[in-house]
């Protein structure tokens, strides 16, 4: 019996709509799986679901932090596992929905965050890479490990520290804990041709602007929210550059669309390499996808699970 369901996919792939249908049909409650939707007053730029759009489905871990508060994967892991137990105690199905692959992975698998000192050999190796290749290369390395990372590429110390922590945890996981599940979970992934996805991303940015993205960011700026974790999110850092007079609005919007498309590509890479996902066609009729997902869940068991997953089409560049 499946005790946790997750719906993942790149930005603008239709996760929200599908998750609502699944929650209705499976007696579920939704847990936010996006690291930026936890922040209050950051609604438009994070494409956060509005209360009137929730269709009576209970949603968890939205608007739980102020924009100037920090938030970590380890904290998310603890909060979500508590929510899963709480939802299950009511006889309902927890459904994690979002595009932050590392966050979903940290919850569903035995992903441990060591408090011990980082291996000195690893630190020395990373410092040599920094000296040889530069901070931009190291920042790209970080984004491959955690596509949702909001650390500024110029913050060398934080970039290196984040890589150290992620690589230390990943090495341990690779040796002992790879795909060691904490639950009897199913992860659903939404796929579509890249050209269509990128057009949807561009359209979503235009809609955000029409809904008042610039005004939302300006309100944060007027409150003195600056140089914090949340503002490094795509959609906010670009508009800040416009409001600070560094870019024109046209350039800021162009950068926002470009960064969103790049992020979607990194999301796909992470999902493909790190998570066992049952992929569905995001452009298919919702009724058909719903039937396919339910049929897969009903036929799922731990012994045949991986064979079923690898038999399905994985996302490819289309």
Taking the C-alpha atoms of residue 7 and residue 93, their distance in angstroms, rounded to an integer, is: 13
Tokens of 80: 């979500």
Q: What DSSP state is assigned to residue 188?
A: E
Taking the C-alpha atoms of residue 235 and residue 255, their distance in angstroms, rounded to an integer, is: 9
Report DSSP letters for 80-138, one per residue: HHHHHHHHHHTT-EEEEEES-HHHHHHHHBT-----SPPPHHHHHHHHHHHHHH-HHHH
Q: Are 38 and 61 in contact (CB under 8 A)?
A: yes
Q: How far is CA 219 from CA 42, 61, 96, 225, 243, in A?
A: 10, 23, 30, 9, 11
Taking the C-alpha atoms of residue 108 and residue 87, their distance in angstroms, rounded to an integer, is: 15
Known binding residue 16? Answer is yes
Known binding residue 260? Answer is no
Known binding residue 315? Answer is no
User: What's the CATH architecture for 4-109+179-311?
Assistant: 3-Layer(aba) Sandwich (3.40)
Please report the pLDDT score of residue 3 as a whole number.
94
Known binding residue 14? Answer is yes
Known binding residue 13? Answer is yes
Taking the C-alpha atoms of residue 318 and residue 21, their distance in angstroms, rounded to an integer, is: 27
- Rounded to the nearest angstrom, the gap between the alpha carbon of residue 9 and the centroid of all alpha carbons in its chain is 8
Q: What b/e sequence results for 6-23 when a residue is b if at least 16 CB atoms lie within 10 Å of its CB, and e otherwise?
A: bbbbbbbbbbbebbbbbb
Could you read off the pLDDT tens digit of each residue along the chain, which spans 318 residues?
A: 899 999 999 999 999 999 999 999 999 999 999 999 999 999 999 999 999 999 999 999 999 999 999 888 889 999 999 999 999 999 999 999 999 998 999 999 988 765 544 566 778 788 878 877 888 889 988 888 888 787 888 888 888 888 887 776 554 444 344 458 999 999 999 999 999 999 999 999 999 999 999 999 999 999 999 888 899 899 999 999 999 999 999 999 999 999 999 999 999 988 988 899 999 999 998 889 999 999 999 885 433 343 333 333 334 444
- Which helix (H) or strand (E) segment is 307 a member of? helix 305-311
Other beta carbons less than 10 A from residue 303's beta carbon? 6
Please report the pLDDT score of residue 125 as a whole number.
81
Taking the C-alpha atoms of residue 125 and residue 180, their distance in angstroms, rounded to an integer, is: 28
For the chain, the first-to-last Cα distance in angstroms comes to: 35
Q: Are 97 and 53 in contact (CB under 8 A)?
A: no
Domain layout of the chain by residue ranges: 4-109+179-311, 120-174
Q: Are 20 and 57 in contact (CB under 8 A)?
A: yes
- Which helix (H) or strand (E) segment is 79 a member of? helix 73-89
Of the candidates 99, 111, 91, 112, which has an alpha carbon nearest to the alpha carbon of residue 26? 91
Known binding residue 85? Answer is no
């Amino acid at each position: 019996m499946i005790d946790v369901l997750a719906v993942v996919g790149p930005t603008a792939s239709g996760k929200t709509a599908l998750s609502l249908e699944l929650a209705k049909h499976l007696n579920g409650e939704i847990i936010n799986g996006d690291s930026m939707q936890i922040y209050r007053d950051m609604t438009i730029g994070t494409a956060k679901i509005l209360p009137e759009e929730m269709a009576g489905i209970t949603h968890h871990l939205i608007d739980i932090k102020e924009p100037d508060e920090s938030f970590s994967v380890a904290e998310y892991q603890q909060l979500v596992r508590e929510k899963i137990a709480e939802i299950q105690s009511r006889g309902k199905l927890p459904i994690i929905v979002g595009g932050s692959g590392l966050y979903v992975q940290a919850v569903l698998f035995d992903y441990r965050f060591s408090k011990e000192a980082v291996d000195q050999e690893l630190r020395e190796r990373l410092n040599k890479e920094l000296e040889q290749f530069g901070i931009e290369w190291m920042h790209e390395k970080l984004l491959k490990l955690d596509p949702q990372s909001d650390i500024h590429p110029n913050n060398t110390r934080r970039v290196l520290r984040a890589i150290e922590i992620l690589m230390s945890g990943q090495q341990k996981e690779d040796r002992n804990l790879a795909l060691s599940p904490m639950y009897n979970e199913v992860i659903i992934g939404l796929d579509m041709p890249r050209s269509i996805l990128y057009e949807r991303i561009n359209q979503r940015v235009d809609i955000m602007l029409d809904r008042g993205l610039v005004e939302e960011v300006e309100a944060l700026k007027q409150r003195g929210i600056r140089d914090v974790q949340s503002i490094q999110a795509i959609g906010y850092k670009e508009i800040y550059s416009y409001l600070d007079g560094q870019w024109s609005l046209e350039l800021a919007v162009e950068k926002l669309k470009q960064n969103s498309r790049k992020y979607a590509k990194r999301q796909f890479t992470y999902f493909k390499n790190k998570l066992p996902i049952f992929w569905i066609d995001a452009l298919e009729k919702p009724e058909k996808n719903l039937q396919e997902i339910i049929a897969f869940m009903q036929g799922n068991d731990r012994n045949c699970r991986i064979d079923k997953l690898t038999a399905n089409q994985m996302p490819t560049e289309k």
